[in-house]
Structure 1
Amino acid sequence: MNLKLLNAIRCNKNIFNKYFAVRYSSTVYPEDKITHTGQKWDKDDYRMARFVNNPKHVNPNIAIKLIAEVPPKKTTSRVVACDGGGGPTGHPQVFINLDKPGDHSCGYCGLRFELDQHH
Structure 2
Amino acid sequence: MNSSIFFKYMPKFKVFAKIQPHRLRSDLSEVTHTGQVWAEDDYRNVRFTNAKRWVNKNWGMVYAHQREPIICSERIVYCNGDGPLGHPISYICLDKPGKHWCHYCLKSFIREQKKK
TM-score by length of 1: 0.67
Paired residue type of 2:89: Q
Identify the match of residue 33 of structure 2 among 32, 36, 42: 36
Question: What whole-Å deviation, never above 9, does each CA across 1:25-59 have from its counterpart, x for those lacking one?
Answer: xx844441211122211111121111111111111
Tell me the alpha carbon deviations over residues 55-106 of structure 1, each in whole angstroms, 9 at most, x when there is no partner: 1111112222221111211123333210123433x32111223233322222
Corresponding residue to 2:103 among 102, 107, 112: 107
5+ long unaligned stretches in structure 2: 1-8
Match of 1:75 among 54, 72, 75: 72
Q: Aligned pair in 2 of structure 1 residues 94, 53: CA closer, same or farther (>3 Å)?
A: same
Which piece of structure 1 moves more, 35-44 or 98-107? 98-107
Runs of 4+ with deviation above 6 angstroms: none
Candidates 84, 93, 106, aligned match of 1:97: 93
Q: Secondary structure of 1:87's match?
A: coil
Please tell me whether the aligned partners of residues 17 and 44 of structure 1 are also in contact (alpha carbons under 8 angstroms): no
Quote the sequence identity (%).
38
Specify the code of the residue in structure 1 equivalent to 2:112: D
Superposition RMSD in Å: 2.9
Consecutive unaligned residues of structure 1, counting only runs of 5 or more, are 10-14, 22-26
Aligned pair in 2 of structure 1 residues 85, 57: CA closer, same or farther (>3 Å)?
farther
In structure 1, the residue corresponding to 2:77 is in which secondary structure? strand
In the other structure, the counterpart of 1:8 is 13
Corresponding residue pairs, total? 105
Amino acid at match of 1:8: F
Structure 2 vs 1, CA of residues 95 and 17 (structure 1 numbering), >3 Å: closer, same or farther?
Answer: closer
